[in-house]
Chains A and B, each alone.
Chain A
């Protein structure tokens, strides 16, 4: 089964703030912009809890002083775009998958993304055409990145 783990900053996210400011200056009408690291684990049934406990204990993924971790849907929601680099070097080697010297139990596949969540001025998910415009304008370099919507 697939487990999606989202790790987001609880302290101010300067990168998201800069992106929001830039997009607004370029005419993309947004109320808010959030960013998170996203891990999709293909894990053996029955080992999800063990995996989550392991992930929570790896500080290079999750630092409780500044991050919030949640299990979430395994597909992008409204107003979201997930970015990765299909031909890039970011893919973890495995199985077995090891992060910071810690094996990830029962994991057969790992996919990593940066998740951008765009909201309109009322706090609702941004319309699809606004997400498209934000990707085209700034968030995505299609030469080496891919956006999943």
Chain B
């Protein structure tokens, strides 16, 4: 059995999580043994996973704030342990909100509370649902999920949120920049960081941030929703697969993030 096949990934499911199935499929598509982990699973069982993923949705109905209640769930205590032990931890959309509310990202000075947050989209405070491009702006080796990518790589994903605007004090933002915590920014199809490419007014045009050690990634858009060729709305990959069922059903695009997880576990 290869190291990747032996690795076990746990996908945490809180009441209100809604993207666990497609996230599980994306992990399995890159060869990872993946299981859904119900929020009432004993914490000692959760400790056995080699990596943890917090998928999108509305954990605890976004009560108080998106991710705020889940950040205090006993399962997130295990996430803290996993992060401290260097295990890969990925949060997508609501999962990313949980990681920021828990203080795990950016995780400056081993914070126990939030230093940043994903606040209501600006301008207008409206929910957005649109295809975006994530541009790798940190050195690939800065984060375990991107170490296999080329500098400046683009990855498609779907922004689908009402609260995805990175917000923090100026001091924290400066430290985020200085520490290369911004792994992905929003970009247009050519990779240019235009204002129009940012769907939510996010500070630093940030779409994904990592922690100090680079083993925890909080990414706001959903790569798993643009991870098979048939999902791509446009682009050469889909055009080239037209008429070829197997090619249309093949993983591509956003699957690269999950391939990074598999690479990190190999």
Count of A residues near B, CB < 8 Å? 21
Interchain CA distance A90-B113 in the complex, whole Å: 24
Which residue on chain A has the smallest CB distance to residue B66? A141
Find out whether the CB atom of A141 lies under 8 angstroms from the CB atom of B122. no
**Contact digits for B194-209, partner A, Cβ 8 Å, 1 yes 0 no:** 0000000100000000
Find out whether the CB atom of B124 lies under 8 angstroms from the CB atom of A144. no
Interchain CA distance A89-B165 in the complex, whole Å: 11
User: Given that A141-B68, A141-B114 are known contacts, is A89 also in contact with B61, CB under 8 Å in the complex?
Assistant: no
The answer, yes or no, to whether B215 is at the interface (CB within 8 Å) is no
Count of B residues near A, CB < 8 Å? 27
Q: How far is the CB of B167 from chain A (nearest CB, A)?
A: 4
Find out whether the CB atom of B64 lies under 8 angstroms from the CB atom of A144. no
Q: In chain A, residues 1-24, which have Cβ atoms closer than 8 Å to a Cβ of chain B?
A: 14-15, 18-19, 22
Interchain CA distance A17-B228 in the complex, whole Å: 41
The answer, yes or no, to whether B133 is at the interface (CB within 8 Å) is no
Q: In chain B, residues 107-131, which have Cβ atoms closer than 8 Å to a Cβ of chain A?
A: 113-117, 119-125
The answer, yes or no, to whether B69 is at the interface (CB within 8 Å) is yes
Q: Which residues of A contact B122 (CB under 8 A)?
A: 88-89
Find out whether the CB atom of A138 lies under 8 angstroms from the CB atom of B61. no
The answer, yes or no, to whether A73 is at the interface (CB within 8 Å) is no
Find out whether the CB atom of B117 lies under 8 angstroms from the CB atom of A88. no
A-B contact pairs, 8 of them (CB 8 A): A14-B61, A19-B63, A19-B64, A85-B119, A87-B119, A88-B119, A89-B125, A143-B169
**B residues engaging A (CB < 8 A)?**
60-61, 63-65, 68-69, 72, 100-101, 113-117, 119-125, 167-169, 172, 201
